[in-house]
Amino acid sequence: NAGVTQTPKFRILKIGQSMTLQCAQDMNHNYMYWYRQDPGMGLKLIYYSVGAGITDKGEVPNGYNVSRSTTEDFPLRLELAAPSQTSVYFCASSFSTGQGNYGYTFGSGTRLTVV
Amino acid sequence: GQQVMQIPQYQHVQEGEDFTTYCNSSTTLSNIQWYKQRPGGHPVFLIQLVKSGEVKKQKRLTFQFGEAKKNSSLHITATQTTDVGTYFCAGPRSSNTGKLIFGQGTTLQVKP
């Protein structure tokens, strides 16, 4: 099992450019998440999905969009990149039932710099 | 709103010393999870505690869940340089148990 795979690992964007961060999981997890982590800081939830076709905003959704057309894939779209979006982006997945959730599996991250 | 807080934010210890990080929630939690993030790495799930007063051990790591299920601790005995990293606690959001709220983490530095 590959777990959660994120691409690319590094990217430099110019202000105003757009890009898509890819995330795929092969564990048949129903929940998927996108977090950003700024240097020395904790994890902030951008968007999450409870299953294919269902997405919802997290704490910091502005400037981002997501889609979940399949259980496996959960891409994050950055439109009109801004320096404030310089960060490390982590995709994660988990299996959650009505009774609770299990541990998250994180991808290795995408380090994005906007210049 | 619901908050999960960790203290201390940073801790520097000499190799061989013990280390403890504390996690406090503003609400009662159904469970608490702990993650470790090595420098430059990604968070890795360590453990989940579910029962009030639960204590679990993983080698030199001891995890506790408070009786009121609002606090937790991670204790490392005789730290090693391999313990370096940031330790996060996380609990389910009251509104959606599939979503975790993470503490801000405790960064551990170990001097050899």
Q: What is the pLDDT of residues B20-44, one digit of tens each?
A: 999 999 999 999 999 999 999 999 9
Q: Has residue A68 got a pLDDT over 90? A: yes
Q: What are phi and psi of A83, to 5 degrees?
A: -55, -30
Interface contact B97-A90, CB threshold 8 A? no
Q: pLDDT band at residue A113, thresholds of 50, 70 and 90?
A: very high
**Which one of B42, B98, B100 has the shortest CB-CB distance to A107?**
B42
Q: pLDDT band at residue B98, thresholds of 50, 70 and 90?
A: confident
Q: pLDDT band at residue B90, thresholds of 50, 70 and 90?
A: very high
Task: Give the whole-angstrom CA distance, residue B55 versus residue A31.
Answer: 28
Chain A residues within an 8 Å CB radius of B97: 96, 98-101
Interface contact A105-B33, CB threshold 8 A? no
- Contact between B74 and B65 under an 8 Å Cβ cutoff? The reply is no
Number of inter-chain CB pairs under 8 A, A vs B: 56
- Contact between A6 and A63 under an 8 Å Cβ cutoff? The reply is no
